[in-house]
Amino acid sequence: MNTNETYQRLIEMLNDAEADYRLIDHAPEGQTEVVSQLRGHATREAAKCIIMIAKLGRKTTKYILGVVPGDRRISLSKVKALLRATYIGFASKDDAERLGGSAVGTILPFSFNSSLDLIVDPSVQESDIIFFNAALLHRSIGLKTRDYFAIAKPSIESIAE
């Protein structure tokens, strides 16, 4: 799935769910702190999306999409303990973009790939609206958090530092 297909799938999904969202166009940017300023909201309201690789024993590899507030970081040790993994790390850029369907910096807080498990830190629920790049560096979405959780149906686990 390429970036434009990912964007179209996102918009169709939000519209089909009658989600409360708005599109925000801005200068191309993928860094959470900078794009939050461009969009005009607190960094904590951003959804920081990170794809990780986990080894579960010698022969099993799993990919995880972790979502935390924009002012926090993923705790690899928490994810490792949660999954009882023998190894946890950040996925390669190529794997992240293939699994996420868009460029690093524009990865969505949704998984459209059955090989990518979605885990969201409960602190994401503290904001009424979450903001994220919409698979594009120049366009973002502000989405009601309650709609995000209803649509994404993520595992909710403490994974933030």
Structural domain boundaries of the chain? 3-156
pLDDT of 25: 96
What is the pTM (predicted TM-score) of this model?
A: 0.95
pLDDT at site 61: 95
Nearest Cα to 139, choosing from 43, 15, 4? Answer: 4
What is 3-156's CATH topology?
YbaK protein (3.90.960)
Kindly give the residue spans of alpha helices, DSSP state H, lying in the chain. Answer: 3-16, 32-39, 76-83, 93-100, 145-152
**Structure token digits, residue 113:** 């790939």
d(CA 42, CA 142): 12
Residue 53's pLDDT is 98
Place of tokens 């909710």: 156
- Which contacts of 30-34 are long-range, i.e. CB under 8 A and separated by 24 or more positions? 30/103, 30/104, 30/105, 30/106, 30/133, 30/137, 31/105, 32/70, 33/70
Per-residue pLDDT of the chain (161 residues; tens, 9 = 90+): 688 899 999 999 999 999 999 999 999 998 999 999 999 999 999 999 999 999 998 899 999 999 999 999 999 999 999 999 999 999 999 999 999 999 999 999 999 999 999 999 999 999 999 999 999 999 999 999 999 999 999 999 999 99
